[in-house]
Amino acid sequence: MALGQDKEIQEYRDMMKIPDRFEDGFGWKTVIGALFLGIFMLPGSMYLSLVMGGGLGSAAQWVTVILFAEVAKRSLKSLRQQEVYVLYYMAGIALASPFQGFLWNQYFVQSPAAISEGIADQIPSWVAPSRHILKETGRTFFNKHWLAPLAMVSCMLVIQRIDRFGLGYALYRLTSRVEKLPFPMAPVGAQGIMALAGSQDPAQRWRWRCFSIGGLIGLMFGLVYVGVPSLTGAFLAHPLQIIPIPWLDLMSATERILPAAPVNLVFDLGLVLIGMVLPFWAIVGGAVGLLIMFLVNPFVLHKYGLLPTWREGMKVVDTVYSNTIDFYLSFGVGITLSIAAVSFYTVLKPLFAKRKETAMLPVPGEEEPPRSLREIWRQLRVNYRERGDIDILISIAIYFFSTASYIGISTWLVDGFPWFFFLPYAFIYTPLISYTTAKLEGMVGQAVAIPLVREAAFILSGYKGAAIWFAPIPIHDYGTAVQFFRVVELTGTKLTSIIKTELVTIPVVIVCSFLFAEVIWRLAPVPSDAYPFAQQMWHLNAMNSCLTISATMEGSSRFMESINPSIIALGFGGGLTSFILLSLFGMPTFLIYGLVRGLGHQMPGGVLTELIGALLGRFYFERKFGREKWRKYAPVMLAGFACGLGLISMGSIGVALIAKSTTTLAY
């Protein structure tokens, strides 16, 4: 242990010990799990993201693990914790469908926002075919014009998965093995994996009951919320919605009372369950921030002419966009900077103070920290074969290979790409910000993002055009990967089993996600009435993307016009003031962060729905079951809910596909 670390940090590090035995979690169960995820879970997640705005998410990872654990249990077998973790990790890979971006790209190149801003004709063919070609070929990816985007996405997916074992792994070896940081949040995920591995214990039967209850709720809600619109959309010109999807727009009723304040209601039961799982004070803080926005927008900003582009008659989406370009883009940058500043301050101040005050004694049984670069390098070169370690030289080589690949591919694809300008970002900024994030993850379990770094790099490079925004620019923060490698180690999983899982899962993901993206697009245009969330939000997303891309276009830039240093300073000062005042009153940390983030949040419906769940969990279910039990029950119920909702979604896709196929047959 490092000499300057104090007793509190040592307690965090001792929360979970690294196991003495490491095992391979890869096997035939992993192969079956990959096929299960690709065929059953992936299409449901893609479909839900278009209909409701959220896929199965991280809950689907627990769904997969619980289902496999229960099947094994009923087969009189068990899953080792290494197998559980590999299944969990594999589900995370599979549900991050790379080809869902194809659906977005085909819309963006044809979107009114991209056409009106003159961006549509500058979108490269390796992103999506031109809008003129798309009109000729129709709704299918099976034509030669999609070969270049397909090759680009597949190539980048492979490079990114290899890149995961580069600088991120090297930083983990440095911060964990050499500096011996505590990684306080890593035991949370590791203990959940270990708990599921012991599901044969009769004491764990509550887990299946909670999962079943959540699954039944998901089935019933999904039948009304997703099933009815999907099934009726297969037979009717416009699908029938019993519950408004994705929200009920109330602007017409509130615009005179609360001008320029976006008001909507979201009826997604999943958000209620999420509110029961997330930290209570973080949700309360976000709701308070939104309440302040409801008061500030109409009675301060609109009244004094700071929201000039808003007009009566605007819906929620247009209101959010107009407020963004008038005020909240700059204000959000200031808020983010204040969060970054406070985070760095809270980490660094105790660190330096305790270095002076704490007696610096080594821990018995642990090697003293290295005192020179030579000793640091010597420890980094130590590989533990039983853990499946990758040699540090290979990790560094992967980092240089992936970075060179990003620069080379960008130079090849983008005419006039200023590759020399991005070398300092790739080899100076990226290692520095990655190491800083790795230290923060290791000490306090959080990461801090510095806003507008990528945008500033593009603007300062002097490049003119839209293509650079779609290129794989080598500006990354690898520090967030260190937590993942720490959890792998705490669960006793060999790193080689993670590599083998990647090799099996990636081909399944590429094939299945491409095929199901084709199926979803053939069912109906994306976006359309059949995919209500996409129909509402993609227009806003397209306008925001065009706003950012305009920064490197010829002529005037709405993005540059929207950046206001005075408003950035106001956001920064407001964020710092909120932190200081709430800290002085001894308010919970989650409330402080939630409030500051809520001040920059403009879409209220989802936060209000989460608040309902948080209040129900805090003041009803915790009193009924006890706080400790309810905190265990709620995540499992959410996983079951996601499973039930996913089953309904997949069933709806199947029925709709059969119906559409029979109606389009020539005979």
Q: Which pLDDT score is estimated for 409?
A: 95
Residue type, 447: A
- With contact defined as beta carbons under 8 Å apart, do 2 and 180 qualify? yes
Q: Identify the helix (H) or strand (E) that includes residue 495.
A: helix 495-523
Q: Which pLDDT score is estimated for 506?
A: 87
Residue in the structure block whose two tokens are 């900024």: 429
pLDDT higher than 90, residue 83 = no
Neighbours of 275 (CB within 10 A): 24
| Cβ partners under 8 Å of residue 101, min gap 6 | 153
Question: What band does 183 get if pLDDT is binned at 50, 70 and 90?
Answer: confident
> Maximum Cα–Cα distance for the chain, whole Å?
86
> How far is 322 from 540, CA to CA, in rounded Å?
10
Q: Which pLDDT score is estimated for 569?
A: 94
pLDDT higher than 50, residue 358 = no
Q: Which pLDDT score is estimated for 346?
A: 62
Q: Which pLDDT score is estimated for 181?
A: 79
Residue in the structure block whose two tokens are 């399944």: 508
| Cβ partners under 8 Å of residue 126, min gap 6 | 148, 149, 151, 152, 413, 470
Q: Tell me, what DSSP letter sits at residue 529?
A: T
The string of DSSP letters for 62-90 reads HHHHHHHHHHHHHTT----HHHHHHHHHH
Q: Tell me, what DSSP letter sits at residue 466?
A: S
Interval 575-591 mean pLDDT: 79
Q: Which pLDDT score is estimated for 236?
A: 74
Higher pLDDT, 398 or 633: 398
Query: Hey, is 248 helix, strand or coil?
Result: strand
Question: What band does 211 get if pLDDT is binned at 50, 70 and 90?
Answer: confident
Q: What are the CB-based long-range contacts (under 8 Å, 24+) for 422-430?
A: 422/457, 422/461, 422/473, 422/474, 422/475, 425/457, 425/473, 425/474, 425/475, 426/474, 426/475, 427/403, 429/453, 429/475, 430/167, 430/403, 430/474, 430/475, 430/476, 430/477, 430/478
% of the chain surpassing 90 pLDDT: 30
Q: Tell me, what DSSP letter sits at residue 421?
A: H
Higher pLDDT, 409 or 601: 409
> How far is 381 from 393, CA to CA, in rounded Å?
8
pLDDT digits (tens, 9 = 90+) for 277-286: 888 888 898 8
Residue 27: strand pairing partners: none
Higher pLDDT, 223 or 40: 223
Interval 55-59 mean pLDDT: 59
Q: Which pLDDT score is estimated for 220?
A: 93
> How far is 223 from 646, CA to CA, in rounded Å?
11
Q: Which pLDDT score is estimated for 357?
A: 45
Q: Which pLDDT score is estimated for 359?
A: 38
Q: Which pLDDT score is estimated for 108?
A: 95
Q: Which pLDDT score is estimated for 170?
A: 93
Structure tokens at 622: 């915790």
Query: Which range, of 83-87, 132-136, 262-266, averages the lowest pLDDT?
Result: 83-87
pLDDT higher than 50, residue 437 = yes
Q: Which pLDDT score is estimated for 618?
A: 92
Question: What band does 64 get if pLDDT is binned at 50, 70 and 90?
Answer: confident
Higher pLDDT, 445 or 486: 486
Question: What band does 300 get if pLDDT is binned at 50, 70 and 90?
Answer: very high
Residue type, 211: F
Query: Hey, is 577 helix, strand or coil?
Result: helix
pLDDT higher than 70, residue 508 = yes
Dihedral (Cα; 338, 344, 345, 350), 10-degree rounding = 160
Question: What band does 549 get if pLDDT is binned at 50, 70 and 90?
Answer: very high
pLDDT digits (tens, 9 = 90+) for 646-666: 778 777 777 776 776 665 544
pLDDT digits (tens, 9 = 90+) for 382-406: 888 888 889 999 999 999 999 999 9
pLDDT higher than 70, residue 444 = no
In 3D space, the residue among 43, 58, 154, 97 whose CA is nearest the CA of residue 655 turns out to be 43
Whether the upstream peptide bond of residue 532 has omega within 30° of 0, thus cis, is no
- With contact defined as beta carbons under 8 Å apart, do 539 and 315 qualify? no
> How far is 314 from 423, CA to CA, in rounded Å?
44
Neighbours of 551 (CB within 10 A): 18
Q: Which pLDDT score is estimated for 620?
A: 94
Structure tokens at 269: 């039961």
The string of DSSP letters for 138-205 reads -S-S-SGGGHHHHHHHHHHHHHHHHHTTSHHHHHHIIIIIIS----TTHHHHHHHHHHHHTTTSGGGH
Higher pLDDT, 325 or 376: 325
For the chain, the average pLDDT equals 82
Higher pLDDT, 125 or 183: 125
Interval 547-569 mean pLDDT: 88
pLDDT higher than 70, residue 370 = no
Structure tokens at 200: 């044969």
pLDDT higher than 80, residue 227 = yes
